[in-house]
Amino acid sequence: MRTPCKRSLLLVAVLLPPFALASPEEDLAAFRAFYESRFPDIELADHADGAYALDEAKRAQWLEMEDFPPYEFAVDEGEALFEMPFADGESYASCFQNEGQGIKHLYPLFDEVAGEVVTLELALNRCREAHGEAPLDYEGEEIAALMAYMAYTSRGQTYDIKVPEAGLGAYEAGKQFFYERRGQLNFACSSCHLQSGGGMLRAEILSASVGHATHWPTYRFKWERVGTLHDRFIECNEQVGAQGLAPQSASYRNLEYFLTYMNNGMVLNGPASRK
């Protein structure tokens, strides 16, 4: 009989090769099985709370803080921005299904006409440009606030990201990015959040990758602001001594596509707060 440790190592071996000829469905099953084996006492859905799922004391402090969440102001600002009409009299609501309410869990998606992954941030700026407005800075406060509002209207929705045949290349590129080592430290995303998930890095617990896409945008106390998932990608790359790519670059959009697919079946719980 295999021990939990041996089962975990076996699953790592299955997951590690970035070019493994596995379907997205097989990848997802292996991904979930790995974390269920590594953390048998934690419900998979609880990983949406990141490292707070792994430390009861920190979780209690975090839940208490949620009574007066630091991202609340961004939700209000985002609502005002969302409802502000463009110069042509239209608004963001005209660009999205359900007038943009409760749709964040549908992104990112693969646009088969454009042949690329479209994130919600990219869709917001394309909406602006279609109505003669200048695009927003992807690292700016306005787009983070819009995302906070749109996430808030989508709370409780379940991720079910689709990978059509035309999107397999983008999915595989995101998967490769997740497992590929880079930078002076020669780390991959998987180095910290798959093999070492639940371990310590300095004084912090490393969260599991499953659930990573559920809670963005996030107020990080380190940043003292609300930021997007791509802000975090940039920071992670720089922390391992690699060059951070531009937000909404194809590489980061593909990575978000892969990571969000790995969160299928989980509930969107953003915006959130993290250390």
pLDDT, mean of residues 142-146: 98
Lowest mean pLDDT among 7-11, 119-123, 226-230, 251-255: 7-11
Query: E strands along 127-207, which residues?
Result: 200-201, 204-205
Q: Write down the mean pLDDT value for the chain.
A: 91
- Residues 171 and 266 placed together within one structural domain of the fold: yes
Q: Is residue 31 part of a domain?
A: yes
Longest CA pairwise span in the chain (Å): 67
- Residues 249 and 196 placed together within one structural domain of the fold: yes
- Residues 270 and 173 placed together within one structural domain of the fold: yes
Predicted confidence (pLDDT) at residue 43 exceeds the cutoff of 80: yes
- Residues 117 and 172 placed together within one structural domain of the fold: no
Q: Is residue 243 part of a domain?
A: yes
Distance CA 161, CA 98 (A): 18
Condensed to tens digits (0 to 9), the pLDDT of residues 156-174 reads 999 999 999 999 999 999 9
* pLDDT of the residue at 7: 43
Domain range for residue 212? 21-67+166-274
Kindly indicate the confidence band of residue 5, based on its pLDDT and cuts at 50, 70 and 90.
Answer: very low
Q: Are the CB atoms for 163 and 26 separated by under 8 Å?
A: no
Lowest mean pLDDT among 4-8, 121-125, 220-224: 4-8
pLDDT, mean of residues 166-192: 95
With the C-alpha atoms ordered 149, 153, 157, 161, is the resulting torsion angle positive or negative?
negative
Domain boundary among 152, 175, 203: 152
Q: Is 95 a catalytic residue?
A: no
Condensed to tens digits (0 to 9), the pLDDT of residues 17-34 reads 444 578 999 999 999 999
Predicted confidence (pLDDT) at residue 196 exceeds the cutoff of 90: no
Q: Is residue 104 part of a domain?
A: yes
Distance CA 230, CA 252 (A): 7
Predicted confidence (pLDDT) at residue 178 exceeds the cutoff of 80: yes
- Residues 248 and 220 placed together within one structural domain of the fold: yes
* pLDDT of the residue at 212: 93
- Residues 125 and 58 placed together within one structural domain of the fold: no
Query: E strands along 166-233, which residues?
Result: 200-201, 204-205, 218-220, 225-227
In 3D space, the residue among 45, 47, 33, 24 whose CA is nearest the CA of residue 175 turns out to be 24
- Residues 63 and 124 placed together within one structural domain of the fold: no
- Residues 54 and 186 placed together within one structural domain of the fold: yes
pLDDT, mean of residues 26-46: 94
- Residues 206 and 250 placed together within one structural domain of the fold: yes
- Residues 54 and 124 placed together within one structural domain of the fold: no
Task: Considering only residues 122 and 198, tell me which one the structure prediction assigns the higher pLDDT.
Answer: 122
Q: pTM of the predicted model, to two decimals?
A: 0.92
Predicted confidence (pLDDT) at residue 135 exceeds the cutoff of 50: yes
Q: Is residue 245 part of a domain?
A: yes
Lowest mean pLDDT among 20-34, 70-84, 139-153, 226-240: 20-34
- Residues 60 and 173 placed together within one structural domain of the fold: yes
Lowest mean pLDDT among 3-7, 84-88, 177-181: 3-7
- Residues 145 and 173 placed together within one structural domain of the fold: no
Exactly one of 95, 189, 192, 236 is catalytic; name it: 236
Q: Is residue 11 part of a domain?
A: no
Q: Domain total for the chain?
A: 2
* pLDDT of the residue at 9: 40
Distance CA 44, CA 250 (A): 29
CATH number at residue 245: 1.10.760.10
Predicted confidence (pLDDT) at residue 3 exceeds the cutoff of 50: no
Q: Is residue 214 part of a domain?
A: yes
* pLDDT of the residue at 64: 87
Q: What share of the chain is helix, strand, coil (3-state, %, to 5)?
A: 50, 10, 40
Domain boundary among 152, 182, 210: 152
Domain boundary among 152, 178, 202: 152
